[in-house]
Amino acid sequence: MSETYDFLFKFLVIGSAGVGKSCILHQLLENKFKEESTHTIGVEFGSKIVNVGGKCVKLQIWDTAGQERFRSVTRSYYRGAAGALLVYDTTCRETFNSLTNWLTDAKTLASPNIVIILCGNKKDLESEREVTFLEASRFAQENEVMFLETSALTGENIEDAFNKCAKTILTKIEAGDIDPERIGSGIQYGDSSLRQLRHTRPRRQRTDTGGGCC
C-alpha cells in the first residue's frame, strides 16, 4: 500500500531513559497510553501521516532507547533526522540536567539544522514536579528550541509537539532555509508534491547538481 503524502520527515525522539519517549510515540500513533512500557531496546519505529499547513506530511519517527548502553546504536539513527523531540521528565531533575548533552548530540550527529522541540513530559504528575515550566522555557529560549509540556498519559500536547515541529520544518523549507534535496536532510518528497513544489518554491542557488531534474 503506497500512501500519498507531500513530504516525508525523519523524526527522532530522544532523551534520558524512562522519560516517556515510547509512551509519547504510542500516544501519537494509537491515541492511547501505553500501559506496560518497558525500556526500549535499541530503536523502535513508527510512522504517521499528519496534516500540517495543508500539506500531508509523513512522519518517520525513530523512538530511541534512553539507556546509556544503547547510545552507540541509537546514535547511528541520528543521521539525517529533520526533526527531533527532546524529552525530559518534569518529575525528574536529572533528566532535565542532561538535556545539554542530548542537544549537542543531536546537533552534531544529526545536522546543525535539525528542528528540535523540547518536551517536558509527565505534566500530569503535577504534585511530583521537579522542573518548573519557567526554567524549562528559559532553557529552550537559550538554546533556540521550541518548548511544550506534554503528557503521554492524558495525551495533552502530544500531537501538537509533532505538528509544531513539522510545521517549523515546513516553514523552513518554504523559506528556503532547509534544502530537502540535500542528502541527509531527512526530508523526502512524496509523489504528489514533487513537481508542484518545484515550481512554487523559491529556490536557492544550489551548488550540487545531484538532484534529478525533469
Partner 1 sequence: MKKIRGLFDNVGKHSTSVIKHQHTDDINIGAPKYAYKDEARRFTTNPQADREAIESIDKVFYGDQEAINPYELDNLPEALSLGDVEVRREKLRQQVNAISKKLSDVILENQPSYTKELKDVQELQRSLHNAFIICSNGRRFLMSVSTRSTTAGLKLLASQQKRHNLLALCTALETIRTLQHTDIRLREMLEEEDYDGAIQLCLECQKAASTYRHYHCIKDLSSKLQDTLEQIEEQMDVALSKTCKTFDENVYAKLKIAYQLLGKTQSAMDQLLMHYTTCIHNTAFHVVLGFAELGSSKNNLHKKQYKDLCTHISGEIYIPCLMEMCKALWSIMHCYHKTSVWHKNCISANGLDVAEEVETEEYINRKLSHGRHRIWADVQSRIRTYILSCDLSVFKYDDFITVLDIVKRFILVGVDFCRNTIDETEPQTTTDNLNEPLRKQTLSYFYNHHKSRLEELLMFLDNEAWQPCPVKSSFEVLNMQEFKFLRQLDVDDDNLFDNNQENFASNLPGIKYFDPYTNESHPFADLEKMSQKANSNDIRQVRYDSYEASDEDDMDDELHQEYIDERTGESPVSDNASKVLHGPIMTNTALHVLRLCGSYLKMCDVLKPIAIDVVVCMTQLFDLYFYAVFEFFSTSYEGEKYRYERLTSTIKRMEESLFLPISSNAENEATLPPNSEKIARPTLSPVVDLNKNENNYGIMERIVATESLICLSEQFQSLQKYLELMIPQSKKAFLHQFYSQTVRSSADVRWTSYWEFSSRCINMTSTIEKMFLVNWDIKDIMSQHNAYVDQLLKELGTFKSRLQQSVRSVQMPEAVSKVIWNHCIRISNQVFVEGFSNVKKCSNEGRALMQLDYQQFLMKFEKLANIRPIPNREYVEAYIKAYYLTENDLENWMRTHIEYTPKQLSSLVNCSATSYSSSTAASTNRNAKQRMMSLIEELTMRK
Ligand X SMILES: Nc1nc2c(ncn2[C@@H]2O[C@H](COP(=O)(O)OP(=O)(O)OP(=O)(O)O)[C@@H](O)[C@H]2O)c(=O)[nH]1
Question: H helices of 123-211, where?
Answer: 133-142, 158-175, 193-200
Which C-beta is closer to partner 1: that of 42 or that of 176? 42
Per CB under 6 A, 148 contacts ligand X: no
Q: Exactly one of 16, 27, 40, 111 binds Mg ion (CB under 5 A); which one?
A: 40
**SS3 at position 175:** helix
Q: Distance of alpha carbon 28 from its chain centroid, rounded?
A: 12
Q: Exactly one of 29, 37, 105, 160 binds ligand X (CB under 6 A); which one?
A: 37
Identify which range of 97-105, 112-120, 136-144, 202-210 contacts partner 1 by CB under 8 A. 97-105
**SS3 at position 13:** strand
Task: Give kind and range of the element (H or E) at residue 11.
Answer: strand 7-14
Half-sphere exposure of 138 (CA within 13 A, CB side): 4
Per CB under 8 A, 211 contacts partner 1: no
Per CB under 6 A, 84 contacts ligand X: no
Q: Distance of alpha carbon 111 from its chain centroid, rounded?
A: 13
Number of residues that bind partner 1 (CB under 8 A): 45
Residue 183, number of CB atoms within 10 A of its CB: 9
Q: Exactly one of 4, 51, 97, 200 binds partner 1 (CB under 8 A); which one?
A: 97
Q: Tell me the sheet residues that pair with 62.
A: 12, 45
**SS3 at position 109:** helix
Q: Exactly one of 22, 90, 185, 193 binds Mg ion (CB under 5 A); which one?
A: 22
Per CB under 5 A, 121 contacts Mg ion: no
Q: Exactly one of 18, 48, 49, 56 binds partner 1 (CB under 8 A); which one?
A: 18
Three-class secondary structure assignment of 38-66:
CCCCCEEEEEEEEEECCEEEEEEEEEECC
Q: Tell me the sheet residues that pair with 119.
A: 87, 148
Which C-beta is closer to partner 1: that of 148 or that of 158? 158
Which residues in this chain contact Mg ion in the complex, by CB under 5 A? 21-22, 40
Which residues in this chain contact partner 1 in the complex, by CB under 8 A? 1, 16, 18, 30, 32-33, 35-39, 41-45, 47, 60, 62, 67-73, 75-77, 79, 94, 97-98, 101-102, 104-105, 108, 124-125, 153-155, 183-184
Which residues in this chain contact ligand X in the complex, by CB under 6 A? 17-23, 37, 39-40, 65-67, 121-122, 124-125, 151-153
